[in-house]
Structure formats: C-alpha cells, structure tokens
C-alpha cells in the first residue's frame, strides 16, 4: 500500500488520538513518525503506532503531562516531560534549545522523564532548518551485549547530527550505536524477512539471521561502539539523574508504568564561531566533494551522510510511501490495539 505523507500522517494521528493522546500531541507524534517513513526509516514510523497506542491506552504514557522547563545557566536547561509522549517533549525541548543557541551561541538541554522519542533526525533537523547545528542523543532499553560480554547492558543509544547548508540541503546522520537498530529487526519481523546475522545474537550468544530468535544486539565496531554506548548513557541518563545501563526499563515489560528515559539536545550557532555565509558554502562544498568522488569498485557513487534518505524522500513524494498491508489494515481499523506488546521481553517476545 502506498500513501502520501499527509494521508499517512492523518491515519496515525487519528489512531493515537483515539488511544487517548490530546489532539495536538497526537499531531506531533504523527509528524515525527511520518518524517521517519518519508525518509525510508520505516523502523521508526507507522509500525510503531500500535505499540504507542497500547501504552497510551494502558497508562504508561501520561495523557496530560505537566511539562516544565527550567533554565539552569545561560546555555543550559532541563525540560521535564512528566512521562508524556516522548516525541512531543523532545520537539518542544528542541524548540527551547534553539532559542538559547540563537541568543547565546550554544545550548545544551536535558530532556528527562520521557517515553520513546522516535527518530532523532527529526529533532536535529529542527535546528538545521533554523540555520544551526543540531546534535541529539538518547538512551534506550538494555538490549546490546557489551564488547566481550554475554548479557545485554546498554541500549541502541542513538546519536544524531545535522547541519544546514547554503543550498538548503542537510548533512545529516542518525545512527544507532549497535550494528543495526532494534527497529530494523522489528521491521524485518513485520515483513517476514531474515536479518544480517552480524546484527544480533541468540540466547546462546551465537549470530542469528532469524529476527524471531534475537536475544541481544551487537555494538558497531566492537569496543568503539561499546564506548559510544557508554558515552550516550552517561550524557542522557546518569547526567540527568535517571536510570542508567541495565536499570533502564524495557519498552515492553509493563505498559502501565512510566519509562523515565532521557535525551540530550545540543545546538550550536555557527555565527558565534565563524562567518556564517562561508560556513554554509563550505558545507555545500563538502557535499559536492563527496558526491563527485570516484566510487570504489562495487559502488555507483559516494553519497554524503543523509543523501540516501533525501533521495528516498524525493522518491516517496512522487510515488507515495510504501506501508505493509498489516500496518495499513491496523491504521484503518476501528481497533485501538491488539494487546500485542504488554509484558513481553526486550525484543517483544515472551
């Protein structure tokens, strides 16, 4: 099934609102999800709606959060999400981060006590669209084995970055610190397709290509990815006084309970460091240098970070966003959810 971004947004918003979110909050969550699907990041798009709807319905997402924002210094602040929808808190917090960076050059805002915030690229793009550099990182469920370990300790702990350019394009990255994000495995399950066996291990610690047998993910580049996971957990968990490491709650363990997750938003105003016009021109030059480079054997071209998602976004504008039938049928049904996720393990299985 192919839908326009607007059609998909409407379906997701309606379902989330029916589950109990305020209309304006449902609209923001749907916007973040549609952003992900429109860039081909389906692991963080419509396939997440049923899980969110079940958590909202069962009380694990605060339907009427009391958001608070406290400046703690000229360039720092804390946004308390009161365990409302994480996407909403993260977006509003990034709005505040942008304001501080415009005034003072840099800004760091801790976003605490939130649920899952979705694709971090959405939030760093907020900053880039304002001519600023955006960085975001957040903790997640313990589902990755540390380098040399046998039990999950850290989550996929993603990091995102975006910078503007004179042409209006963005240099952008949004990456898990595992070889692959859990959402990609969830997407493979929904399509009934195997995964790359380097992505995960089974209960015996052996590589597996079966998405239903995944017991833990593996870090990118071994000890380097493991170290990045530690950094993200410290900056978005320990630093904000939140549960950390294996103490972070599982996404599926009890959908009636708060998640208490953390995210850190960082925004840099280039005008405080260099000539803005030259900066924007040099970002465009970076893109041109990379995209015109001679590709290695087996590659058609060299793409700069974020280019592939941008190409997919343009293609989807023309052809529509492809949504698997099972998800489309759910979105268009009268059911809010099907009790598919509550009290499951970290990988949504018994």
Within 10 angstroms of residue 151's Cβ, the number of other Cβ atoms is: 11
| Separation CA 232–CA 285 (nearest Å) | 30
- The burial of 140, by beta-carbon neighbours within 10 Å (0-12 exposed, 13-18 middle, 19 or more buried), is given as buried
Q: How many helices (H) and strands (E) does the chain have?
A: 10, 11
| Known catalytic membership, residue 116 | yes
Query: Containing H/E element for 286?
Result: helix 276-291
Please list, in sequence order, all residues whose beta carbon lies within 8 angstroms of the beta carbon of residue 88, skipping any fewer than 6 positions away: 25, 28, 29, 65, 81
Taking the CA of residue 219 as centre, how many other CA atoms within 13 Å lie in the half-sphere pointing to its CB? 24
Task: Read off the tokens for 242.
Answer: 């939140």
Strand segments (E) across the chain:
2-3, 68-73, 76-80, 106-114, 133-138, 159-163, 171-175, 200-201, 216-217, 261-268, 321-322
Catalytic one of 35, 116, 187, 337: 116
Active site residues: 116
């Amino acid at each position: 099934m192919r839908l326009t971004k607007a059609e998909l947004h409407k379906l997701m918003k309606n379902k989330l609102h029916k589950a109990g979110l305020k209309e304006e909050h449902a609209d923001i969550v749907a916007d973040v999800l549609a952003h992900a699907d429109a860039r081909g990041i389906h692991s963080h798009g419509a396939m997440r709606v049923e899980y969110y709807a079940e958590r909202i319905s069962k009380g694990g997402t605060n339907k009427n959060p009391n958001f608070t924002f406290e400046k703690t210094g000229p360039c720092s602040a804390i946004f308390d999400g009161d365990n409302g929808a994480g996407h909403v808190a993260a977006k509003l917090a990034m709005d505040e981060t942008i304001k501080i960076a415009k005034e003072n050059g840099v800004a760091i805002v801790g976003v605490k006590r939130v649920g899952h915030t979705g694709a971090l690229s959405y939030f760093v793009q907020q900053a880039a669209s304002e001519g600023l550099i955006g960085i975001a990182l957040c903790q997640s469920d313990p589902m990755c084995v540390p380098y040399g370990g046998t039990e999950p300790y850290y989550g996929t702990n993603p990091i995102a970055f975006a910078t503007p350019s004179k042409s209006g394009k963005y240099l952008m990255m949004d990456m898990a610190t595992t070889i692959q994000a859990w959402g990609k495995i969830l997407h493979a399950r929904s399509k009934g397709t195997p995964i790359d066996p380097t992505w995960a291990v089974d209960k015996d610690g052996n590589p597996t290509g079966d998405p239903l047998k995944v017991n833990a993910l593996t870090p990118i580049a071994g000890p380097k990815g493991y170290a990045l996971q530690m950094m993200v957990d410290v900056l978005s968990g320990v630093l904000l006084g939140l549960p950390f490491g294996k103490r972070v709650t599982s996404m599926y363990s009890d959908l009636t309970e708060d998640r208490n997750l953390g995210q850190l938003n960082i925004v840099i105003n280039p005008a405080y460091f260099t000539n803005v016009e030259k900066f924007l021109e040099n970002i465009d030059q970076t893109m041109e240098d990379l995209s015109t480079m001679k590709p290695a054997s087996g590659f058609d071209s060299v793409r700069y970070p974020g280019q592939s998602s941008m190409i997919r976004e343009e293609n989807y504008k023309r052809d529509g966003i492809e949504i698997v039938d099972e998800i489309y049928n759910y979105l268009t049904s009268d059911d809010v959810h099907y009790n598919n996720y509550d009290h499951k393990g970290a990988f949504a299985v018994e």
